[in-house]
Amino acid sequence: MATASQESLRFERLLALIFALLGATIIALSSLYWVLALEPLLREHYESQSRAFAQAQAPGLERLFDGGARPEYLRGELQAALDAILLLQDQSTGIAFIHRVELILDYDMLALPKSSLDMVRGANGCEGCIQVPIALYHPRDHVLIGVVTFYANPEFLQRLVAGVRGKLLWGAGAMLVLIMLAWIGASRWLRRLGESESNLRNVFEAASFPMVLHEPGRRGLARANEAARRYLSLAGHGDELISEDWRYLLAAGLPNGDGEQREMCIPVEGGGLRWALVSVVRLRFSGGVSRLISLVDISELKAVQEELRAASFTDGLTGLYNRRYLFSMLGKEVDMFRRYHQPLSLFLFDLDDFKKINDRYGHPVGDQVLVRVAEELRQCVREVDVIGRYGGEEFMVILPHARLHAAWEVAERVRVQISGLDWAEHAGLRVSISGGVCEYNGVSVDAFVKLADDSLYRAKKGGKDRVVAETMPTGVDLLEQRPDMVGARQHGRDG
């Protein structure tokens, strides 16, 4: 009797430790995930969106310096442009995107009196605002003429953070409440029923989250509570419970260490996944060693995490990759070229007279044009190509394993496809593109992009609605001209 009582006491302590460990782990994981990953990711995403918004406003300010207007007239135009930016609001909330704008010009580059056009528009103070400095370049000379600093409204970030944090707290709190209730119930039942093995069965069945008992060496489960039967779709009789979900978890590899936790996915019908936080504790049950396995569903948390991850590298309007992701992929492709010496080309283009389209038909139509151009672009490129919105009305296509002529053919196909689009719902609307194509020649990533941008500029100067290719020696050509690199290149192919 004393031995049985001691075993029951040890089991009660072990069960309390399981619940305490699970609750502490949930709190720790939730806190660490919020502090180290989620909150910085939300801030980084908002700063990226603010920079994209600010960069979209810069071309309109730069064009004001192209007319040679008198300083007093130019100052009025600049004030009107900055005030217009301050009036831009979110349609759903009515909150302004920008609180304050500061303009500082380099008068050494402008034939204007010192400080004659420097100005600050908007609120005097902007606590918590995200500062986004954007360089301004002369539209004709392309020299730096000043800096405009946008102070993005922090309320959008605060709302985003508050919403995600609330969901995270609700989820963690619900889990903790369930764990606490289960532990209180288990302790009460164990004390009331005299610390026997039957008490363990009662606690096991009363748990509100899925729990199963698995004996090493067996494929099926010895016991499972009702939550586990529903969650894993278990079926069987006696001490042999089995299902496809359980077979998948077992094949994927359950945590081995005592108290170890692991995030695991379970396939569902339709090709989706559901995620569970799986923890394992070893214990003795019915005279043998078993593993008590508990599962906590974290599918909603994973879905939020995936949405935030996708939002960090995609453009919200077109669904294409954004500038940040394009530069990341371009850097990887350049590294691949340096290792294996495979051709690499770049196609950069923008929409001709896009401002006129916005001015004549309105920004909603302009957005429709960008979305449709993105759809056509997806159909014209190869599967291995990487496409994205470079900024504003500019798009970029990274073409791995493509020499200059092949890249030019892809670019020309894109140009012809877009030029032939029918815009019957908007009378008089015609969309064309001008683009530049270049093949990698061993320069830096920024210089590589500039080669394509220079070709794009020549296409604009040449009359628009055309693609101009950079004809200077490429990286593959330069490698073939160096005998000392031929052997290394052949070795890379053979390896």
Alpha helices in 237-313 (DSSP H): 244-252, 299-311
Report if residue 124 sits inside a domain: yes
**Shared-domain flag, residues 52 and 158:** yes
User: The domain containing residue 287 runs over which residues?
Assistant: 209-311
**Shared-domain flag, residues 483 and 366:** yes
**Domain-ending residue, one of 188, 217, 252:** 188
Predicted confidence (pLDDT) at residue 480 exceeds the cutoff of 70: no
**Shared-domain flag, residues 291 and 332:** no
Sign of the CA dihedral 491, 492, 494, 495? positive
Q: Indicate the average pLDDT of the chain.
A: 82
Q: What is the CATH number of the domain that holds 235?
A: 3.30.450.20
Predicted confidence (pLDDT) at residue 260 exceeds the cutoff of 60: yes
Q: What is the pLDDT of residues 383-424, one digit of tens each?
A: 999 999 999 999 999 999 999 999 999 999 999 999 999 998
d(CA 299, CA 304): 9
* CA 388 to chain centroid: 14
User: The whole model's pTM is what?
Assistant: 0.45
Report if residue 199 sits inside a domain: no
Q: What is the pLDDT of residues 109-125, one digit of tens each?
A: 777 788 788 888 888 87
H or E, element range at 331? helix 323-340
How many Cβ atoms are within 10 Å of 340's Cβ, its own excluded?
Answer: 12
**Shared-domain flag, residues 28 and 5:** yes
Report if residue 198 sits inside a domain: no
**Shared-domain flag, residues 163 and 222:** no
Sign of the CA dihedral 304, 325, 32, 36? negative
Give residue 328's pLDDT band: very low, low, confident or very high (50, 70, 90).
Answer: very high
**Shared-domain flag, residues 64 and 138:** yes
- Residue identified by tokens 């599918």 is 299
Report if residue 80 sits inside a domain: yes
**Shared-domain flag, residues 475 and 356:** yes
Percent of the residues in the chain that have a pLDDT greater than 90, as a whole number: 29
Predicted confidence (pLDDT) at residue 460 exceeds the cutoff of 90: yes
- Number of domains the chain contains: 3
Report if residue 184 sits inside a domain: yes
Q: Give the DSSP per-residue string, 130-197.
A: EEEEEEEE-TTT--EEEEEEEEE-THHHHHHHHHHHHHHHHHHHHHHHHHHHHHHHHHHHHHHTTS-H
- Say if CB 134 and CB 54 are below 8 A apart: yes
**Domain-ending residue, one of 154, 188, 222:** 188
> So what's the pLDDT on residue 387?
95
Report if residue 32 sits inside a domain: yes
- Say if CB 26 and CB 296 are below 8 A apart: yes
Q: What is the CATH number of the domain that holds 469?
A: 3.30.70.270
**Shared-domain flag, residues 307 and 339:** no
Range name among 105-114, 138-147, 285-294 with the lowest pLDDT average: 285-294
**Shared-domain flag, residues 43 and 162:** yes
**Shared-domain flag, residues 112 and 22:** yes
Predicted confidence (pLDDT) at residue 72 exceeds the cutoff of 70: yes
**Domain-ending residue, one of 188, 219, 234:** 188
Give residue 208's pLDDT band: very low, low, confident or very high (50, 70, 90).
Answer: confident
Report if residue 271 sits inside a domain: yes
Report if residue 174 sits inside a domain: yes
Sign of the CA dihedral 244, 247, 253, 259? positive
**β-strand partners of 386:** 398
> So what's the pLDDT on residue 139?
82
**Shared-domain flag, residues 31 and 125:** yes
* CA-closest candidate to residue 232, choices 250, 257, 205, 259: 250
Predicted confidence (pLDDT) at residue 201 exceeds the cutoff of 80: no
**Shared-domain flag, residues 319 and 301:** no
Q: Say whether 209 sits in a helix, a strand or coil.
A: coil
> So what's the pLDDT on residue 3?
45
